[in-house]
Copies of this chain bind each other. A is one copy, B any other.
Amino acid sequence: MHTPLLLDRLLQIADLLHRDMSREYEGTELSPSRMAVLWTIHHAGPVQQHTIAEALDVTPRAITGLVDALEAAGYVERVPDPADRRARRVVLTSDGVALMTRTVQEHAGLNATLMAAVPEADRECVEMAIAAIADRLAELVSEAATAAGTDAS
């Protein structure tokens, strides 16, 4: 048995994060996909649905369903867009803002717990390295998607 590759560790972490989030939200009106919509609105402010669709790289149809669910649960509201009567802006309700505030705090707490597993002297180096890996991976995925899109057209 040899040491797992860094990539294997990253895949393990990906699986654990997704599993933990799914478990955390089970029995509630939330889910990883719905949280992704809330993060987009949290970061971008009131947005049109097609903007969310582009940010998450899914079709507008998928956003219709996710926003329907979030609106029914009381976390977001569809409001008229004064500049375009076809569109509506999706905004966080006060419940939505409170949820995201709590979630940001929980993220910071989990981040601190995980960083505590790394020797203090190594932390800056590790943060830089993971950022570099994430950026490199984003480039690769973007190139692969472009190549696939070119093939298909």
Interface of A, secondary structure class, is: helix
Whether B20 and A134, one on each chain, are in contact in the complex, defined by CB atoms closer than 8 angstroms, is no
Among A118, A130, A145, chain B packs the most CB atoms within 10 A around the CB of: A130
Of B8, B19, B127, B136, which one neighbours A107 at CB under 8 angstroms? Answer: B8
Of B14, B107, B129, B136, which one neighbours A7 at CB under 8 angstroms? Answer: B107
Chain B residues whose CB sits within 8 angstroms of the CB of A3 once the complex forms: 127
Whether A127 and B7, one on each chain, are in contact in the complex, defined by CB atoms closer than 8 angstroms, is no
Q: A1-37 toward B: CB 8 Å interface, digit per residue (1/0)?
A: 0011111111111101111100110000000000000
Chain B residues whose CB sits within 8 angstroms of the CB of A44 once the complex forms: none
Stretch binding the partner chain, chosen from A59-67, A77-85, A87-95, A109-117: A109-117
A37 to B9 CA separation, bound complex (whole angstroms):
18
A54 within 8 A of B: no
Of B7, B115, B144, which one neighbours A24 at CB under 8 angstroms? Answer: B144
A72 within 8 A of B: no
Shortest CB distance A31–B (Å): 15
Chain A, 99-153, CB within 8 A of any chain B CB: 107-108, 110-111, 113-119, 122, 125-138, 140-141, 144-145, 148
Chain B residues whose CB sits within 8 angstroms of the CB of A117 once the complex forms: 129, 132-133, 135-136
Chain B residues whose CB sits within 8 angstroms of the CB of A116 once the complex forms: 136
Whether A16 and B137, one on each chain, are in contact in the complex, defined by CB atoms closer than 8 angstroms, is yes
Given contacts A118-B132, A126-B125, A132-B117, is CB(A111)–CB(B14) below 8 Å?
Answer: no
